[in-house]
Structure 1
């Protein structure tokens, strides 16, 4: 049970961190309310679905201490990658796929290897959390996974338009989500 509480506390701290860090970011050049609401809706649905009898099988927590330990390590590693990516983006971070005012192409930190380390970290954190907690994190993994895969393509297309001279070479030398794979 301690592992489960740790996972929830870690996610809460991550949400607080991301909320505080969103203060002072560069403005989007246009609003993207549908994307923001879609992300929020997916998270709410992920936490509601395990309460339906049809999906009771995902409520398998708690698991043994060894498997829980593996899950916690994966979750923390994913969150650390996500935070590192967020730090590297600085004021160019956005909750949505959008062009920022005075947008810059960030290629340092984890962006030196991955084009989307925040998504990779978020997915890894969801995998670890799903191992420990099950239920809502299983659905969060599935729903955010689909959203993140869509966003990888959308962001790559946006960056290719925004940085036509720099992005193609950057895309050739980096992977999207998984180092050495994709």
Structure 2
């Protein structure tokens, strides 16, 4: 499990890189923070990052890990860096922009809602939530609350958050990057579910039969 200082350093560093790329793409601090919607998104990013510091997320391989799935982490990092910079840049350059300020503010709402949905399961699962596809010591299934409806709420939150970011910058490129994100996420979901089936057998199969992966009734 990551200690709080290490988690704080990683979280703050990641946040600064992400926002820094967006500011660079938009053309500088003065230009970026002159727009209310972008200022709100920046503040929301800061708040969510501070909250994340108090979670128990870890990068432990635990008792059993699917190491073949580690490529997903690298893929998500690359997509994330592109998502940080390109929507802001294409918005400033008026390249493949989608709409006006109403879409920006819809993006702000989706960004915040997705960020909350992304981080909430981290607190629900505690030490069982890992950046790796792994079974942690004392691992048990959580099948109540949001997990009683969908099996991967944090991944749904990630997608909603990314789509909100793209809308905030009116970016068709950002929407495309969000769609591309689905590919490694589905690969990770399949890997997780295979590992959980191996660990919990019929108990996980029964749980899987009653829930959806990401969107109730659809997937």
Give me the TM-score of the superposition, normalised by structure 2.
0.68
Name the structure 1 match of 2:124.
Answer: 88
Larger radius of gyration: 2
Name the structure 2 match of 1:13.
Answer: 47
Q: Is residue 166 from structure 1 mapped to residue 203 from structure 2 by the alignment?
A: yes
Q: Distance in 2 between matches of 1:56 and 1:30?
A: 48
Q: Shift in Å at residue 3 of structure 1?
A: 0.9
Q: Summarize deviations over 1:144-175 as a string: whole Å, max 9, x none.
A: 32221211111111111111031001001000
Q: Is residue 42 from structure 1 mapped to residue 76 from structure 2 by the alignment?
A: no
Q: Shift in Å at residue 48 of structure 1?
A: 5.1
Segments of structure 1 that go 5 or more residues without pairing to the other structure are: none
Aligned residues: 178
Name the structure 1 match of 2:37.
Answer: 3
- Greater relative contact order (Cα < 8 A, sep 6+): 1
Q: Is residue 151 from structure 1 mapped to residue 188 from structure 2 by the alignment?
A: yes
Q: Summarize deviations over 1:60-85 as a string: whole Å, max 9, x none.
A: 38x53322222222222222222222
Change in Cα spacing, 1:102 to 1:35, as seen in structure 2 (3 Å) is farther
Name the structure 1 match of 2:178.
Answer: 141
Q: Is the 8 A contact 2:61 2:136 kept in 1?
A: yes
Segments of structure 2 that go 5 or more residues without pairing to the other structure are: 1-34
Q: Distance in 1 between matches of 2:194 and 2:109?
A: 33
SS in 2 for 1:144: helix
Change in Cα spacing, 1:140 to 1:16, as seen in structure 2 (3 Å) is farther
Q: Distance in 1 between matches of 2:142 and 2:165?
A: 29
Q: Distance in 2 between matches of 1:99 and 1:115?
A: 16
Give me the TM-score of the superposition, normalised by structure 1.
0.79
Q: Distance in 1 between matches of 2:128 and 2:42?
A: 28
Instruction: Give the aligned CA root-mean-square deviation in angstroms.
Output: 2.9
